[in-house]
A and B are shown apart, each in its own frame.
Chain A
Amino acid sequence: MEELEKFVFFAGKGGVGKTTCSSIYALKCSERGLKTLLVSTDPAHSTDKILETTLDEKEKKIKEALWAKEIDASKEAVSHRKKIEKEMKQVVGPDMMNKLQGYLKMTHNSPGVKESALLDALIRTIKESKRYDKVVFDTAPTGETMRLLQLPELLSSWSEQLIERRKKNLEKLGRVGEKSKVDLDDDPLIKRLKSRENKLKFGRKVLLNRSSVIPVITPEKLSMLETKDSIKSLEKMGVDIPGIVLNRIASETATEERKSYEKKILNEIKKNMDKKVMGRVPLMEEEIIGVEKLSEHIDELDIC
């Protein structure tokens, strides 16, 4: 039984079984006495369907030692925009306010906003998770996961540059006399930039030092190849990937052709991916839905 970090992310392309595997894992942790929080970040919110309940931003008790909640990136983006509008109302007149509101709506609807908002919600969840021993995420497909992890890196250096520029800028204006008392530490703009940078740095620290990312793979060539690439790029960024979980393994009732094809793929996985297989969830006749059915698969995961 391999012990994972406090924050566990299940990665993999869409439809591969991250929701199922993360739910089984969360159940397993709670049964071992760990206070567990399962977080659904999937826009499709399949965790609701798998747990047969409705989730929202408030943590809901599912059973003993297990809570669940969902992060909605769109809602996060809206509250982010509203907060800025509130601050702006105190500084600008109604005419300017109208124009800026239009601009804000545009920035908060462009592509890439979902990732930024999701990252903010993720960081907040992590910050507020002191009471839990384990926090499990069913992250969205690998591409987004990668970008989420890269953002802190890019933004950190971005805001460092901005702060340097702003400092130079204020120094010059100080000589000019537009702002007679130039105190860099008190400048609200720099404060805001610093807090944004710290937030992202914190997120990055947790993601790189206190997290385990577990890719979920189905015994298919495409699944294996795609996951292999994303594992490489994730590890390049310093992410810890202790092993993989295989989902939808052929059961006894599968055809001989299927079983032998699968054996071939599993051998390739062993050869190509230098990763320990930490779980084997079989393909069932019916989908695994409901806490009872999920519990039946707890022993198929070798992680806690």
Chain B
Amino acid sequence: MKKELMDFLKSSLDYGSMNEKDAYEDQDVFLLMCFSDLIGVPNPYAYYMSELLPYIARDLPSWQWRLTQDKLEFLGDAEQKYDFHTF
């Protein structure tokens, strides 16, 4: 009973932004595994991964933004230098 109560209190105080960040990070890693060549890292499975494009195409611009602007600032102006596909 105590555990259930603690869990309830914990989740009610859970700041949505914390979970959101976690969830986005996971999705970012997933997209990175599939579409690394979109940020210049060659991916030998690109042919098979491209089959997933119709399902995640809408997430790509924000994903790219998070990867290049949000965390990896040095990649910000590398767009001109490297083979990026940006959306």
Residues of A within 8 A of B (CB): 77, 80-81, 84, 87-88, 90-92, 96, 99-100, 102-104, 106-108, 110, 112-113, 116-117, 155, 158, 161-162, 165-166, 168-169, 172-173, 175-178, 188-189, 192-193, 196
Contacts A162-B34, A165-B29, A168-B26: A88 and B57 contacting too (C-beta < 8 A)? yes
Let me know if B57 and A172 touch, CB within 8 A: no
- A168 to B33, alpha carbons, bound, how many Å? 15
What are the interface flags for B24-66 relative to A under an 8 Å C-beta threshold, 1 for contact and 0 otherwise? Answer: 0011011001100110001011111011111111101100000
- A188 to B51, alpha carbons, bound, how many Å? 11
Let me know if B85 and A172 touch, CB within 8 A: no
A107 is contacted by which of B26, B27, B37, B57 (Cβ under 8 Å)?
B37
Let me know if A116 and B47 touch, CB within 8 A: yes
Q: How near does chain B come to A85, taking the closest CB pair, in angstroms?
A: 9
Q: How near does chain B come to A174, taking the closest CB pair, in angstroms?
A: 9
Let me know if A92 and B58 touch, CB within 8 A: yes
Q: How near does chain A come to B64, taking the closest CB pair, in angstroms?
A: 11
Residues of B within 8 A of A (CB): 16, 19-20, 22-23, 26-27, 29-30, 33-34, 37-38, 42, 44-48, 50-58, 60-61, 85-87
- A84 to B49, alpha carbons, bound, how many Å? 11
B54 is contacted by which of A88, A162, A172 (Cβ under 8 Å)?
A88
- A178 to B34, alpha carbons, bound, how many Å? 22
- A173 to B59, alpha carbons, bound, how many Å? 14
Let me know if B56 and A189 touch, CB within 8 A: yes
Q: How near does chain B come to A67, taking the closest CB pair, in angstroms?
A: 29
